[in-house]
Structure 1
Amino acid sequence: MQGLEVRGLSKRFGGLVVSEDIDFDLPPGARKALIGPNGAGKSTFANLVTGILAPTGGSIRFDGQDIAALDEAERVKHGIAKTFQITTLFSGLTVRENLRLPVLERLGQGGRLFRRADSDPKIEAEVEALLAQFDLLALADRPVVDLAYGQQRLVEMALTLALKPRVLILDEPAAGVPSSETHLIIEAIERLPEDLAVLVIEHDMDLVFRVARSIVVLVQGRILTEGMPEEIARNAQVRELYLGGAHG
């Protein structure tokens, strides 16, 4: 099973403790959500796991290997990828062109200069499969800048999946997405490969309760509790701190 195993993870900025003694498991196929009030340390935790930040203490292991010394790019190559709260796409390129870039990069062909980018049928077949998986075929040849924001978030998810991760961290995938388009994000998450470990960091509780099989509640850099969605919805302390009695 293994997957991602975090033990005693801590992060301090001087005297400020932002993560403290976090134990966390994300096995293959998991669908886990990380929730908590603003300033709880959710994005800090994701940045520690992906190598954007270095921990002050604790360990991070992936499939039994200590990955603490690996930087962000090396962790991506090992199979840990993360989307961001703000879309980071090439807005002047088409959807198809955006998706082709990470495929080429993953295959070590990102720097080729003297061949047409669309000349490899295997690469094009992979791009086509991503377009189909995220229901983007009708938009494939439109510039990203012309897409609705919810559609841009789908492109970003597809772009990240093109890296072939085994752990996918979705950092507020519904941030900025109109409520009328949130269903696009939910449906895309539901279509992700079954063996992919997915961690969703999100404030949209409707999305969380739709896609998560377990939920971790983070408060002031520490894990308050973890449980199945129905358990979290019934937890009086969670309702008081975060959910405001909106669920259950």
Structure 2
Amino acid sequence: MLGLEVRGLSKRFGGLTVAEDIDFDLRPGDRKALIGPNGAGKSTFSNLVTGIIAPSSGTIRFDGSDIRSCNEAQRVKLGIAKTFQITNLFRELTVRENLRLPILERKGKGYRFFKRANSDTRIEAEVSALLEQFALAALADTKVADLAYGQQRLIELALTLALKPRVLILDEPAAGVPSSETHLIIDALERLPADLAVLIIEHDMDLVFRLASQIVVLVQGRILTEGTPAEIAANERVRELYLGGSHD
């Protein structure tokens, strides 16, 4: 099967089980959201899929191949990438310089000591395309440190897309973004390539219901239910556990 296939995935830390018997599929073009209350295990699940931590049991397959032995960097090269809740940018570099770095790394040109970093016209064309895609062209030569937080989140998303992933995991893409800037994130996510498989882990339910075609609800490390936004909104158990209470 093309895409990501998880079966029976579990993770235990001593006597504590944080993920239990999770089955999950993410195929090209999917727009799925993973929601759940505090401590549900959402970040743990994403860390298992991306290779940040190893599962206690279960399988993770990508395009039919078992990838459990692959570390995080190897999974990125296969096409599985993740953004994080906190931005991790080079604040003293410009937007353009930040975007150039993952492209150089992807093409194996990150350590060219005797060539100018901007000497490759194909790489510069790719940088320019990303700047346009994320409405950052006017800020291209501005230091990241001088930008609003919502704009920095856009840059992080553009950086991740520069790796050319086939599976994109967004860990709270709107975290810390003022409500007046949330539309920047939503607009950028709506412009993602149609064939990209996207998993959104998010507490902003307006964003989730606007972007996701399927929603998976995780509670205490187990999948409670999965369905369309309308089905999830109408599910009384979900409303009791999550939508009507606190969320992470």
Aligned-partner SS, 2:181 = helix
Aligned-partner SS, 1:170 = strand
What CA distance in whole angstroms lies between the structure 1 residues aligned with 2:141 and 2:30?
33
What CA distance in whole angstroms lies between the structure 1 residues aligned with 2:38 and 2:28?
28
What residue number does 1:32 align with? 32
What CA distance in whole angstroms lies between the structure 1 residues aligned with 2:186 and 2:229?
16
What CA distance in whole angstroms lies between the structure 2 residues aligned with 1:150 and 1:192?
17
What residue number does 1:124 align with? 124
The within-5 A match list for 1:108-187 is 108-187=108-187
Aligned-partner SS, 2:218 = strand
What CA distance in whole angstroms lies between the structure 1 residues aligned with 2:156 and 2:94?
12
- Counterpart code for 1:72: E
| CA shift digits 1:181-206 (9 cap, x unpaired) | 11111111100000000000000000
What residue number does 1:55 align with? 55
The offset of 1:14, in angstroms, is 0.3
What CA distance in whole angstroms lies between the structure 2 residues aligned with 1:237 and 1:131?
43
What CA distance in whole angstroms lies between the structure 1 residues aligned with 2:190 and 2:137?
18
What residue number does 2:203 align with? 203
Percent of aligned pairs with the same amino acid: 79
The offset of 1:146, in angstroms, is 0.7
What residue number does 1:221 align with? 221
Aligned-partner SS, 1:101 = helix
What CA distance in whole angstroms lies between the structure 1 residues aligned with 2:174 and 2:219?
21
| CA shift digits 1:34-67 (9 cap, x unpaired) | 0001110000000000000000000000000000
What CA distance in whole angstroms lies between the structure 2 residues aligned with 1:77 and 1:245?
39
What residue number does 2:188 align with? 188
Does 2:13 match 1:13? yes
What CA distance in whole angstroms lies between the structure 2 residues aligned with 1:30 and 1:21?
22
| Structure 1, unaligned runs of 5 or more | none
* TM score, norm. by length of structure 1: 0.98
Structure 1 stretches of 4+ with a deviation exceeding 2 A read none
The offset of 1:68, in angstroms, is 0.3
Aligned-partner SS, 2:175 = coil
What CA distance in whole angstroms lies between the structure 2 residues aligned with 1:111 and 1:12?
39
What residue number does 1:72 align with? 72
What CA distance in whole angstroms lies between the structure 2 residues aligned with 1:142 and 1:45?
36
- Counterpart code for 1:73: A
| CA shift digits 1:23-43 (9 cap, x unpaired) | 000000000000001110000
Q: Give the count of matched residue pairs.
A: 246
* TM score, norm. by length of structure 2: 0.98
Aligned-partner SS, 1:18 = strand
The offset of 1:245, in angstroms, is 8.2
What CA distance in whole angstroms lies between the structure 1 residues aligned with 2:217 and 2:243?
11
Aligned-partner SS, 1:108 = coil
What CA distance in whole angstroms lies between the structure 1 residues aligned with 2:245 and 2:155?
34
- Counterpart code for 2:115: R
What CA distance in whole angstroms lies between the structure 1 residues aligned with 2:183 and 2:234?
25
